[in-house]
Homo-oligomer: A and B are copies of this chain.
Amino acid sequence: MDFSVIVIGDEILLGQVTDTNSGFIARTLAPDGWTLKRVLTVGDDPLQIRQAINICMADSRLVITTGGLGPTKDDLTKAVLTERFGGRLERDPAVTENIRRVFSLRGLQLNPLTADQALVPTSCRVIQNRFGTAPVMWFEEAGHVLIAMPGVPFETEGMISGEVGEAVHNHFCADSHTAHHTLLASGITESALASHLEDFELSIEGRGHLAYLPVPGFIRLRLDVTAPTRSEAEAVVEEMAADLRNRLGDYLLYDGDATAEEMVLDILRRRHLTMSTAESCTGGTIAGRITAIPGASEVFSGSVVSYSNDVKRQVLGVSAESLTDYGAVSEAVVRQMAEGACRLLSTDCAVATSGIAGPGGGTDEKPVGTVWMAVCTPSGTESRCMRLPGNRRRVIDRAGTEVLLMLYRALRCD
């Protein structure tokens, strides 16, 4: 079944806030067989909100709006909804009670502007918002449902994972279920992989779908199967995944969906090993990516960002001769950086980078994008040089991903 999301808010169109609600709703409703058909983002403007509702209600049995509610702007959205679905605005005692509860939890005094959030169209059924003051409103029209939700991600995520998701499930008889399986492939371009998997795609035609989602460093392959029951969808997708794993052979990087840093944390945990980083051109971003994952401290001890040659020498113990003879961006230096991190930070493994992220600093011999990488594991030290495309940020990101994948592969093959 298809559904549409309408995102309401000037702040999104101004580029000040990025909408993450629509993706969260899509992922949450997908297991029930819902396919997000479109997301329409409009400003806090009655004409545009009205037009968006018309477009989406015309072809989607379920329409979810997020945002456009809140003490300073909900009059507008509620007026459009009341005009569209009929009835009039009336104060709902249960919503008033909920607003009081939320305010007292936050230790705040109720003000008239917020109290008016309890005004709701008589044409809707209210689902109480456990996470905030704006009520969730459920409208029906000719077999189509529109649910108006708040825009704050914390509230939307909590409600769609809870009461609102349940209400959707109960209302629409779930006559089909969708199951997914993601595999990661690397060592081949997207187009070459598409040729390689042509037969596989033909073999699943009509029963499932394979999506190519290239990200820097590897290609995500997502299998989707829709079937009348959840168990059938899961059985079929697993059978297809087994076939796909075989066909991928050495191109299979990881069975599941993960980032490079998640793969590394996963294998370090399974092997009871610890790691650190020694970063020059990546400037601490590898450590930042690892520590963004809750629980990273189990396996990650720390990092030395050796941006200057003095720090490479004095803190990581890189030899002055190597720096003079080969330069900071060299195999000798990056290997000593990785080994120095293992020693100084007392870890089993380390990754190191030294390169020219640009825009300046490139030479004929070592152009911008040249990055030396090393990984140190209990089996020894490996190193590699890459020439990465793109601007400074992309070179830095890609170097981080590549050296993490190097570590993952080294630990996997051990």
**Which residues of A line the B interface, CB within 8 A?**
7, 10-20, 22-27, 30, 35-43, 48, 52, 55, 70-72, 102, 105-108, 111, 113-114, 131, 154, 158, 189-192, 194-195, 211-214, 220, 222, 277, 279, 281-288, 290-292, 294-297, 300-308, 310-311, 314-315, 344-346, 358-360, 387, 389-394, 396
Contact of A359 (CB < 8 Å), options: B24, B294, B300: B294
Nearest-neighbor residue (CB-CB) of A155 within chain B:
B390
* Residues from chain B with Cβ under 8 Å of A18 in the complex: 18-20, 23
* Residues from chain B with Cβ under 8 Å of A305 in the complex: 277, 284, 287, 291, 302-305
Q: Is there an interface contact between A307 and B311, defined as CB atoms closer than 8 Å? A: no
Q: Is there an interface contact between A14 and B27, defined as CB atoms closer than 8 Å? A: yes
Nearest-neighbor residue (CB-CB) of A44 within chain B:
B211
**Nearest-CB distance from A276 to chain B (Å)?**
8
Separation of A341 and B36 alpha carbons in the complex (Å): 48
Q: Is there an interface contact between B290 and A189, defined as CB atoms closer than 8 Å? A: no
With contact pairs A190-B71, A391-B154 given, residues A211 and B11 touching in the complex (Cβ less than 8 Å)? yes
Contact of A38 (CB < 8 Å), options: B11, B16, B40, B294: B40
* Residues from chain B with Cβ under 8 Å of A26 in the complex: 13-15
Separation of A24 and B212 alpha carbons in the complex (Å): 25
Q: Is there an interface contact between A311 and B345, defined as CB atoms closer than 8 Å? A: yes
Q: Is there an interface contact between B297 and A302, defined as CB atoms closer than 8 Å? A: no
**Nearest-CB distance from A391 to chain B (Å)?**
7
Separation of A164 and B387 alpha carbons in the complex (Å): 27
* Residues from chain B with Cβ under 8 Å of A39 in the complex: 7, 12-13, 39-41
Interface centre among A14, A113, A286, A297 (most CB of B within 10 A): A14
Q: Is there an interface contact between A391 and B158, defined as CB atoms closer than 8 Å? A: yes
With contact pairs A284-B291, A360-B295 given, residues A37 and B24 touching in the complex (Cβ less than 8 Å)? no
Separation of A117 and B389 alpha carbons in the complex (Å): 19
Q: Is there an interface contact between A36 and B15, defined as CB atoms closer than 8 Å? A: yes
Nearest-neighbor residue (CB-CB) of A20 within chain B:
B18
